[in-house]
Amino acid sequence: MLEKLQPLINYIYIIASVLFVIGLKMMNRAVTARKGNLVSAVGMALAIIATCLLMGMEFRWILVGAVVGSAIGAVSSYAVKMTAMPEMVGIFNGFGGLASMLVSWAELVKWRSMGWEAYARTLDPGGNASAVFAAVAIAFTVVVGAVTFSGSMVAFLKLAEWIPGKPLLFKGQNIVNGLIVLTVVGGIIYFCLDPVSPAAYAVFMVLMVVGLALGITSVIPIGGADMPVVISLLNSYSGIAATTAGFIILNNGLIVAGSLVGASGIILTQIMCKAMNRSLANVLFSGFGAVTESSGTAVKGEVKALSAEDAFYVLEAASSVVFVPGYGMAVAQAQHVVRELGQLLEKNGAEVKYCIHPVAGRMPGHMNVLLAEANVPYEQLVEPGDVNPVIGTVDVAIVIGANDVVNPAAREDKTSPLWGMPIINVDEAKTCIVLKRSMRAGFAGVENPLFFKENTRMLFGDAKASISALVSEFKAE
C-alpha cells in the first residue's frame, strides 16, 4: 500500500516545498507578508498530511501532536503582546531546536532496538540508507538542536529581563567555549565509529548535555543591544537543526523547510551585522555592553525639555517630519497614535516618513511589524540610507524611544563602544524632538550626547501619552 502511495506522497512534499518558497518570497513586502504567512501555513499542512500518509496506520499520534501544537500556537499568538514578540520568537526558535534534538534521540533509540537492517528499511523501503550518514546526521542534529534550545532560552530570559540583559562574563570564557567545541568534535567522531555500542550511547548523552551547555555559554556573553543578531542567528540554527533532522529520517519536506529557514537566518544575521558595522565574531565574543557605562567620553551639556504644547507649535510649522521608532514605542504601545499623528501632519501639509534602523527594537523587523499593525503605508517606511543624505533639510525628526541607533557618539567619539556603527543622523535635522521617560542610557548602556545638542528638545513621559497629547493639540486647533 505504501509503495502505491509513495509517488503521491512525493508530489505532496514537492507542492509543500514550493509553497514554502512562495510564502517566504511574499514576506519580502509588508503588503504581502500576511498572505505569505498563510501560504507557508498551507504548505506545512500539506507536509503534515504527506507525513501521515507515509506513516500508514501509525499517523494518529502525529495528528494529536499537530492539533495540540496548533492550539498552543494559536492561543499564544493571540495572547502575546507586541512588546513580547521578540521573546515569543526566541521561544519558538528554541522549541524548533528541541524538536530536532528529540528526533535524533528517538531515531538512535529506534536504531539500537531494531538493528541496522530493519531500521534502514524504515528510512528507505529499499534498505539503501547509509549507516555512516545516519550516524553523522544524528550526532550533528543533537548538538545543533541542543545549542539552539538552550541558547534560545537564555535569549528569551534576557529579552524578558528575567536575567540581566548585559553580557555575563567570566574569566577564561572563550577558552571554556573552545574546550566545549573540541569535546563536541571528539564526541561526534567517537560516536560515529560504533553508534549502537553502550559507550557510544553514553557519548551521545554527553553530546546532548555539552550542547546545552554550549548554547548557554554562547549567549550569556552577548548584550541586549545585540539581541536582534542573536535572534536571527538562533533562527538560522533552528533551521539547520530541522534540515539535519530531515536527513536523519529522509524527509524531503523537512529538509527544504529547514534549509529555507537556515539560509534566510544566516542572510539576515549578516544584514544585522552590517547594520552595526561589526563582524559576527565581534558580536558573539566581544562581550559588548559589559563595560560601556565607563567607556567613551563623558557627556556634558544642558538638557532642553519642552511641553506637548510647545512641541505642537514646532510640528505645526513643519513641512517635513521623520519619525524614528525604537523599543520605547513598543513598550508604550504607541504605534497607533504615532500613525494618527502622522495623518494629522499630512493633513497639515507636511511630508511624513518613518525611518527604521535594521537593529531597532529587540528582533529583526520589530518596528516594521508594529507600524504595519498600525496600517502605516509601506511606501512611507524608509531606511537610514534614504534619509541621512537629506536629513539636513528635514524640519523635525521625532525619536520615539530609540537610543543607540541615533547616538552621534558612533560618528564623533572614537572611544565609544558604538564607534563606526551606522546610525540615523537625527542630530543634523533642523529640530530633533526626543521622546523618553528619563535620561537613562539605552539597552547598550551607552550615554547619548544627542540629548544635549543645541537643536534637540526632550519631551519626557510615556511615549503614548505624549503623542496622544500632540494629537489632541492638533485636533483642538
Give the mean model confidence (pLDDT) for residues 54-72: 83
Both 209 and 332 in a single domain? Answer: no
Both 280 and 304 in a single domain? Answer: no
Residue 290 placed within a domain: no
Both 269 and 359 in a single domain? Answer: no
Residues 34, 256, 96, 359, CA torsion sign:
negative
Query: Is the confidence at residue 455, as pLDDT, over 90?
Result: yes
Residue 65 placed within a domain: no
Confidence of residue 364 (pLDDT cuts 50, 70, 90): confident
Confidence of residue 294 (pLDDT cuts 50, 70, 90): very low
Query: Is the confidence at residue 79, as pLDDT, over 60?
Result: yes
Both 176 and 253 in a single domain? Answer: yes
Residue 187 has a pLDDT of 96
Residue 253 placed within a domain: yes
Q: Where does a domain end: 216, 250, 285?
A: 285
pTM for the full predicted model: 0.83
Nearest to 153 by CA among 197, 217, 242: 217
Give the mean model confidence (pLDDT) for residues 186-208: 95
Question: What CATH number did the domain enclosing 388 receive?
Answer: 3.40.50.1220
Residue 39 placed within a domain: no
Both 302 and 323 in a single domain? Answer: yes
Query: Is the confidence at residue 289, as pLDDT, over 80?
Result: no
Q: Choose the catalytic residue: 124, 310, 386, 404.
A: 404
Residue 199 placed within a domain: yes
pLDDT in tens, 208-260: 999 999 999 888 888 766 778 888 999 999 999 999 999 998 888 899 999 99
Give the mean model confidence (pLDDT) for residues 261-266: 92
Q: Where does a domain end: 239, 255, 285?
A: 285
pLDDT in tens, 91-103: 999 999 999 999 9
Both 311 and 274 in a single domain? Answer: no
Q: Where does a domain end: 222, 251, 285?
A: 285
First to last CA, the chain: 76
C-alpha 336/C-alpha 161 separation (Å) is 25
Query: Is the confidence at residue 298, as pLDDT, over 80?
Result: no
Residue 291 has a pLDDT of 46
Which structural domain range is residue 309 located in?
Answer: 296-476
Residue 100 has a pLDDT of 96
> Is 124 tagged catalytic?
no
Both 326 and 261 in a single domain? Answer: no
Residue 105 has a pLDDT of 97
Question: For the chain, how many structural domains are there in total?
Answer: 2
Both 412 and 324 in a single domain? Answer: yes
Both 275 and 330 in a single domain? Answer: no
Residue 212 placed within a domain: yes
Q: Are 52 and 5 in contact (CB under 8 A)?
A: no
Cα angle at 361 between 256 and 281, to 5 degrees? 65
Confidence of residue 38 (pLDDT cuts 50, 70, 90): very high
Give the mean model confidence (pLDDT) for residues 468-473: 96
Both 279 and 354 in a single domain? Answer: no
Residue 125 has a pLDDT of 73
Residue 30 placed within a domain: no
Nearest to 281 by CA among 291, 269, 290: 269
C-alpha 300/C-alpha 410 separation (Å) is 16
Both 461 and 379 in a single domain? Answer: yes
Residue 28 placed within a domain: no
HEC secondary structure over the chain: CHHHHHHHHHHHHHHHHHHHHHHHHHCCCHHHHHHHHHHHHHHHHHHHHHHHHHHHHHHHHHHHHHHHHHHHHHHHHHHCCHHHHHHHHHHHHHHHHHHHHHHHHHHHHHHHHHCHHHHHHHHCCCCCCCHHHHHHHHHHHHHHHHHHHHHHHHHHHHHCCCCCCCCCCCCCHHHHHHHHHHHHHHHHHHHHHCCCCHHHHHHHHHHHHHHHHHHHHHHCCCCHHHHHHHHHHHHHHHHHHHHHHHHHHCCHHHHHHHHHHHHHHHHHHHHHHHHHCCCHHHHHHCCCCCCHHHCCCCCCCCCCECCHHHHHHHHHCCCEEEEEECHHHHHHCCHHHHHHHHHHHHHCCCEEEEECCCCCCCCCCHHHHHHHHCCCCHHHEECHHHHHHHHHHCCEEEEEECCHHHCCHHHHCCCCCCCCCCCCCHHHCCEEEEEECCCCCCCCCCCCHHHHCCCEEEEECCHHHHHHHHHHHHHHC
Residue 344 has a pLDDT of 96
Both 179 and 152 in a single domain? Answer: yes
